[in-house]
């Protein structure tokens, strides 16, 4: 037993017994090993240690020996040894103390300096002796290697079973593991299956996980989720993260996938931590078996969904990431490319009227200025017209498709509500049977079961009220009149496009379905224009030029609207003109419908005033060379309102007239014309 290696100085200090099991399961199952480790106390007594000098450090029971970071007991022993309070350390074998060479050799160094003996079941070792220290070092190295070999064998067995598709793990909501066939199968609960299918159907429509979550919230529907710890299904409120977990899970595409993540030891704040999970890219997944079990979607649709999710992450320096369609007015958000540098342009809204502006920040940090910026209202209108013109030929087919899709979606929602009420009815009946089966004299149990029964009945009643509320609000049942309205609306796509119920996000998704990207290139010669290139999903390219307006004129009334008002104002009233503009679907500022007041403002701005009987508008130029307000406006290509502003501010001198009763007349010479041209350019910047 090598008693001669123990001296009086060892017996005067503490004898530390260090029992350890790597996991709580081992602590529960391997009771004989645990008993052998605690029996080392008797071995210490045999060597001569007094009872009060023997202590047991059992802080690390159920902890792995791979590192000392999560083992406070091991760190305490090392500290006591360094301070000379420990005479010997007892362990069943070296692997109980450490399975890390770094921790083991550090402990050996401390024991050698403090003259601390290490004792196991077979022998006594003195780290001060080089031969003993060499032997202990070899044992520590073998202990660490043994841990690696055990892990290698276990991981190899798991991977081999996974490559056959037979390794079971926690199945996602919508699936159950079939132990007989060693495959996933659809869950028997119809409500769970329908809810999962509805997630994929709504993602096809909404185009984003947030849109799906918002839809579920509006319909007051829940989503099934499997608790990893209990393996039970619970119904939770829908969040964007829960939708993304379903969309990103390849199991729903019928593929058996294993090894999507890799667990490693990692440093956090300079300390070694137990787990650092790294998600592997798809090409590095360890095992993928296609068509292994029934699928909710095809693999091609799964890959398309992953691409869509990736593109929804807006990153303007990477051309493939467009960002999800949002609720802002800018219809081309996310699909605009800068014609100068090729990067994606961002959008912002300026002023109280929220003017749209597309801008590129490629030179913002290097040159201190924007690469390019363009007023967006005119761009949106031009692309919108091209899009609607491309869609019109397929309106008849679209009408029937819209009707069928609407009916299908409403049937799915109604079915989900019916399944939810069936589940709550079953739970209420089950609670009732439990209450009726209990002994009525056992009031403690009876009161609890009665309360559970009442809670289930209240949940059922609440679900019924919510169902009726949603039915009234969302019109979950289509009547013949509703079908006729949908068909009529689908045949008149422009009215649907301008309708109040069509959101900006829905319009953007429709545009993205046909248009892949749009590039904007500013052109200054011979006029300030913007070159627009539309890349359609089919590969075709359409080019057009749009006048590049300044921020002051970006939301000015379109020329087509001004032309119609000019042709009709002398014979028709403002209400008739507004109705005419709305029927032609000519856009107004902020996409609002035309009304009498809006037409009146445009008339006054452009000088289209209704003349009283017997009065005529003054000529543009008199025989003496003086110009009227409208004459100056026609000569310089501006509106009469701008001429009034110049006259009031003193930029344009009044030669004759003025005030409230007499018309103004102006004299134009080369100097004044040059000055007014400069003022005109200032307004265009």
Catalytic residues: 22
Q: Which residue has the tokens 């590129």?
A: 360
The total number of residues written for the chain in this structure:
685
- Helix and strand totals (H; E) in the chain: 24, 23
Residue that is written with structure tokens 């014309």 in the block: 673
Q: Measure the N-to-C terminal CA separation of the chain; round to a whole number of Å.
A: 98
Strand segments (E) across 339-430: 346-350, 355-360, 372-375
**H or E element, residue 56:** strand 54-56
Which residues lie below 8 Å from residue 308, measured CB to CB, with a gap of 6+? 203, 207
Query: Helix (H, G, I), strand (E, B), or coil: what is residue 406?
Result: helix
Rounded CA separation 265/464 (Å): 51
Q: What 3-state DSSP class applies to 182? A: coil
Tell me which DSSP letter residue 344 carries: B
SS3 content of the chain, % helix, strand, coil (to 5): 50, 15, 35
* Distance of alpha carbon 678 from alpha carbon 685, whole angstroms: 11
Say if residue 651 is exposed, middle or buried (CB neighbours under 10 Å; 0-12, 13-18, 19+): middle
Residue among 381, 391, 386 at smallest CA distance from 491: 391
CB 333 within 8 A of CB 515: no
Residue owning tokens 């202590």: 55
Task: Please give the Cα distance from 187 to 174 (Å, whole number).
Answer: 5
Distance CA 44, CA 90 (A): 8
Q: Is the Cβ–Cβ distance between 655 and 667 less than 8 Å?
A: yes
Measure the CA–CA gap between 630 and 528, rounded to whole angstroms. Answer: 25
Strands 515-523, 336-338: pairing is parallel
Specify the DSSP element, H or E, that contains 449. helix 443-474
The span from the CA of 48 to the CA of 356, in Å, is 89
CA angle 353, 634, 572 (to 5 degrees): 70
DSSP-assigned states of every residue in 283-311: GG-SEEETTSS--SS-HHHHHHHHHHHHH
Q: Which two tokens stand for residue 240?
A: 């964007």
């Amino acid at each position: 037993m090598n008693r001669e290696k123990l001296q009086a100085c060892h017996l005067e200090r503490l004898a530390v017994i260090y029992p350890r099991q790597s996991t709580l399961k081992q602590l529960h199952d391997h009771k004989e090993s645990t008993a052998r480790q605690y029996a080392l106390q008797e071995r210490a007594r045999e060597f001569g240690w007094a009872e009060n000098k023997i202590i047991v450090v059992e802080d690390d029971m159920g902890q792995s020996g791979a590192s000392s970071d999560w083992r406070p007991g091991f760190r305490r022993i090392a500290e006591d040894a360094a301070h000379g309070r420990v005479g010997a350390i007892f362990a069943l074998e070296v692997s109980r103390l450490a399975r890390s060479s770094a921790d083991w050799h550090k402990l050996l160094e401390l024991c050698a300096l403090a003259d601390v003996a290490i004792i196991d079941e077979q022998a006594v070792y003195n780290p001060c002796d080089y031969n003993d220290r060499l032997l202990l070092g070899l044992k520590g190295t073998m202990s660490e290697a043994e841990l690696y070999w055990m892990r290698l064998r276990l991981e190899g067995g798991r991977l081999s079973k996974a490559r056959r598709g037979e390794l079971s793990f926690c199945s996602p909501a919508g699936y159950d593991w079939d132990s007989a066939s060693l495959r996933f199968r659809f869950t028997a609960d119809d409500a769970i299956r329908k809810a999962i299918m509805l997630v994929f159907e709504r993602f096809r429509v909404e185009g984003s996980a947030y849109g799906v979550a918002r839809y579920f919230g509006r319909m007051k529907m829940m989503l099934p989720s499997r608790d990893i710890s209990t393996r039970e299904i619970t119904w939770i409120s829908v969040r964007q993260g829960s939708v993304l977990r379903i969309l990103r899970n390849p199991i729903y595409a019928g593929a058996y996938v294993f090894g999507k993540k890799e667990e490693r030891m990692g440093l956090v704040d300079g300390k070694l931590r137990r787990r650092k999970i790294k998600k592997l890219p798809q090409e590095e997944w360890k095992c993928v078996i296609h068509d292994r079990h029934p699928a909710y979607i095809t693999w091609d649709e799964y890959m398309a969904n992953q691409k869509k999710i990736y593109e929804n992450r807006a990153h303007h320096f990477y051309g493939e990431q467009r960002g999800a369609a949002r609720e802002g007015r800018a219809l081309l958000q996310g699909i605009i490319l800068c014609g100068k540098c090729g990067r994606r342009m961002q959008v912002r809204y300026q002023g109280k009227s929220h003017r749209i502006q597309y801008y590129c920040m490629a030179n913002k940090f290097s040159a201190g200025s924007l690469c390019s910026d363009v007023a967006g209202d005119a761009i949106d209108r031009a692309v919108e017209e091209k899009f609607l013109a491309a869609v019109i030929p397929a309106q008849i087919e679209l009408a029937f498709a819209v009707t069928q899709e609407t009916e299908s979606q409403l049937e799915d929602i109604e079915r989900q509500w019916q399944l939810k009420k069936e589940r709550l009815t079953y739970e209420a009946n089950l609670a009732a049977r439990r209450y009726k089966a209990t002994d009525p004299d056992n009031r403690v149990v009876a009161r609890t079961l009665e309360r559970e029964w009442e809670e289930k009945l209240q949940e059922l009643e609440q679900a019924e009220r919510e169902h009726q509320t949603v039915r009234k609000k969302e019109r979950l049942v289509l009547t013949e009149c509703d079908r006729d309205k949908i068909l009529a609306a689908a045949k008149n796509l422009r009215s649907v496009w301008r309708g109040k119920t069509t959101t900006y996000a829905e319009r953007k998704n429709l545009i993205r379905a046909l248009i892949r990207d749009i590039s904007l290139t500013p052109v200054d010669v011979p006029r300030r224009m913007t070159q627009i290139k539309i890349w359609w999903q089919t590969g075709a390219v359409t080019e057009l030029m749009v006048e590049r307006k300044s921020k002051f004129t970006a939301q000015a009334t379109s020329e087509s609207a001004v032309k119609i008002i000019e042709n009709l104002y002398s014979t028709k009233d403002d209400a008739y003109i507004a109705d005419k503009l709305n029927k032609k679907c000519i856009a107004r500022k902020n996409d609002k419908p035309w009304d009498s007041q809006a037409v009146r403002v445009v008339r006054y701005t452009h000088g289209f005033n209704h003349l009283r009987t017997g009065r005529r508008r003054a000529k543009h130029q008199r025989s003496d060379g003086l110009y009227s307000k409208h004459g100056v406006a026609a000569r310089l290509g501006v509106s009469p309102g701008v001429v009034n502003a110049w006259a009031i501010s003193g930029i344009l001198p009044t030669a004759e007239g003025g005030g409230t009763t007499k018309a103004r007349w102006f004299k134009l010479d080369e100097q004044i014309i040059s000055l007014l041209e400069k003022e005109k350019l200032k307004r265009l910047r």
